[in-house]
Amino acid sequence: MCAYKKRDGYYRKAKKEGYRSRAVYKLKQIHEKFGIFREGDTVLDLGAAPGGWSQGALEAVGEGRVIAVDLVGMRDIDGVEQYRGDVTSEEAMDNILKDTKVDVVISDMAPNISGNYSLDQARSVYLARSALHVCQRSLRDGGNMVVKVFQGEDFDALLEDVRANFRFVKCHSPRASRNASSEMYIIAKDFLDIRQKG
């Protein structure tokens, strides 16, 4: 483990409090500020491994449902429905979700970091667009989305597309994001399901 990880206060806090990752505090801070979840909600967690966000979402929805999807497997979390799959694959998401409608989509997906920022950033935008696409197929009218994306080229175009689909959209960097990080979270609330208006 790198020294950076050992020193990190959120990392130690997550270990102590029984969370799978320090990332859970980003989700908690976002929820505190923007009120993403309600008791009883069905949440779809994209890029869920190792499971910190799924744990945080489950706490927030109580008797609701959390459906977690990732390319890689993760240890079971009591109460979380877990699937291995590629979120960018229409077929994989059809098999996992079928006709399920969800109240909230959360995506902390990140590409394998190559070290070439332009490439990594473009891949991050592609993953965020895939999350938006999943919203268009499975988010209920009025639902919410939180999606991570690395800042850079095509960020503004992505934001515009999110704005076309939700009534409330803000960019936010929670305190638990590392200072040097280029990651940004798009908070989108009140989904406009055009299929219902048609």
Residue numbers at the binding site for ligand SAM (CB under 6 A): 20-21, 23-24, 47-53, 69-72, 86-88, 108-110, 127
Q: Which residues contact 166 (CB under 8 A, 6 or more apart)?
A: 145, 188, 189, 190, 191, 192
Q: How far apart are CB 99 and ligand SAM at their closest, in Å?
A: 21
Residue 179 or 196 with smaller CB distance to ligand SAM: 179
What are the beta bridge partners of residue 189?
168
Say how far apart CA 68 and CA 48 lie, in whole Å: 6
For ligand SAM, the closer CB: 2 or 197: 2
- Nearer Cβ to ligand SAM, position 137 or 167? 137
Least distance to ligand SAM from the beta carbon of 161, Å?
Answer: 19
Residue 139 backbone phi and psi in degrees, to 5: -85, 135
Whole-angstrom distance, CA of residue 93 vs CA of residue 192: 21
Annotated active-site residue in 98, 148, 170, 189: 148
Order of all β-strands in the sheet with 65-70 = 80-84, 65-70, 42-46, 102-107, 139-150, 183-191, 166-172
Complex with ligand SAM: residue 15 or 163, whichever CB lies closer = 15
148 is an active site residue: yes
CB of 11 to ligand SAM, least distance (A): 12
The residue count for the chain: 198
- Cis peptide bond N-terminal to 174, omega within 30: no
Least gap, CB of 53 to ligand SAM (angstroms): 4
Amino acid, single-letter form, for residue 58: L
Looking at the annotation, which residues are catalytic? 148
